[in-house]
Amino acid sequence: MKKTIPALFSLLLYIGFSISPAWGQTDESYWQKKMAPYYSQEPSGYLRTNGDSIISDRKIQITDYAQDTLRAYYDYLWQPSAYNGLASFFTYAVRSGDYWQCNDYYYRSKKELRWGFFEDQQLTVPVGPFRQYYDNGQLQNNGYYKNARRNGVWEWFDKEGQLTGRVNYKDDLVYGYCFHVSNGDTNVRRLDSLGAGYSYKKLADGRTLFQGKYLSGGIKDSTWNYYDEQGRLWYTKQFVTGKQMTVVCYDTTGTVIIRDTASQPAQFKNLTRYLSRNVRFPRNLRLNISSGKIVAGFVVGRNGLVKKVKILQSLEPHFDYQVIRALKYMPKWMPAKDHGRAVDSYFIVPFTFANE
């Protein structure tokens, strides 16, 4: 018997009795190859790897402590995980003189995620050099902390080792000529030592995506213009010493339209019901797994179709496959809108299973 407790972002499904024809294939290499494109050890948007510190997200929960050594486990949102079998990351730290040397790892691959020093045992006050890595072992960014603030030059790299960004910091304040490149698009800031200046972003073909002005301290001011991919004015924001005063949006003909900020697709409230009816689990495996959790992420495109389905936290390949199948073949959604125009939207949905 399958019971479902509906919830927006959480779903409790009791193992059903349906068997898919694919479950006859038990070769491990078959499932590893079949599921490989759907697994992600680095969930985009949740593990902050674009230069923003993930230190503030850490809530230390020591699970293993011996003298001056500690070990802790975390889920994909960097929240403490009581059971290391469901962890996405783990931390190993050792006292080194007056500081704690900390190493974070991807739990599954055991590859290093980040290396650095902290002043406190709670690992919240960074100090000295820091390095962060991709799941393929390539350096992602490095820099230096002083008094828990970024100072000096920080650099960012892509997964192939190419330099993609360089930012100058003084006590977390950006200054000088700074840039960051992503997918061929370049984000530039030109600021004086007090943080005043301007910023703009250009696409790979040279078109401007946005431009605006900063006052001292990196405070937005005056009119900021934003353009669409065709170079047409999309919307403007008016700032007065950092406070946003007005927003004016335009359609593709340049006519002013009513502001319509981003909203999730209306069908999301029915996702629980859809999944409870369409996710099926193998009867021959339900006795071997008493409970567990799968976390999946997917994108609803501007055309309303589901794409980029990924498993962020795996339970077992056969079970993961059924969740992926249900998500990939969902009916067309109503896309999210940002300032009056359809945009891609990203969702993360956890599924918790219990066998009775």
Query: Does some domain include residue 251?
Result: no
Query: Does some domain include residue 191?
Result: no
Residue 93 and residue 17 in one domain: no
pLDDT tens, 26-65?
444 554 555 555 554 433 332 333 333 344 444 444 444 5
Residue 35 and residue 107 in one domain: no
Query: Does some domain include residue 108?
Result: yes
Q: Which of 40, 49, 78 is nearest to 139 (CA)?
A: 49
Residue 282 and residue 348 in one domain: yes
Residue 281 and residue 344 in one domain: yes
pLDDT value at 5 more than 90? no
Q: Taking a C-beta distance cutoff of 8 angstroms, is the pair 351, 323 a contact?
A: yes
Query: Does some domain include residue 345?
Result: yes
> 63 is in which domain, residue-wise?
47-133
Residue 17 and residue 98 in one domain: no
Whether the pTM exceeds 0.85: the reply is: no
Task: Please provide the average confidence, as pLDDT, over all residues in the chain.
Answer: 76
| Domain-terminating residue out of 91, 115, 133 | 133
Number of compact structural domains in the chain = 2
pLDDT value at 240 more than 50? yes
Residue 82 and residue 122 in one domain: yes
Query: Does some domain include residue 153?
Result: no
CATH code (residue 293): 3.30.1150
| Domain-terminating residue out of 77, 103, 133 | 133
**pLDDT given for residue 97 in this prediction:** 86
**Per-residue CA distances from 58 to 62, 78, 81, 99, 312 (Å):** 12, 6, 12, 18, 19
At residue 56, what are phi and psi to the nearest 5 degrees? Answer: -65, -20
| Domain-terminating residue out of 133, 157, 183 | 133
Query: Does some domain include residue 254?
Result: no
Residue 117 and residue 72 in one domain: yes
Residue 80 and residue 23 in one domain: no
> Cα torsion at 283, 109, 148, 95 (round to 10°)?
110
Residue 8 and residue 91 in one domain: no
Residue 117 and residue 83 in one domain: yes
pLDDT value at 74 more than 50? yes
Mean pLDDT confidence for 215-236: 89
Query: Does some domain include residue 160?
Result: no
Query: Does some domain include residue 210?
Result: no
> Cα torsion at 257, 261, 267, 272 (round to 10°)?
-170
Residue 309 and residue 285 in one domain: yes
Q: How many alpha carbons lie under 13 Å from residue 132 in its C-beta half-sphere?
A: 20
Structure tokens, 280? 């099926």
pLDDT tens, 191-200?
988 889 999 9
**pLDDT given for residue 185 in this prediction:** 86
CA-based radius of gyration for the chain? 23
Q: Taking a C-beta distance cutoff of 8 angstroms, is the pair 309, 326 a contact?
A: no
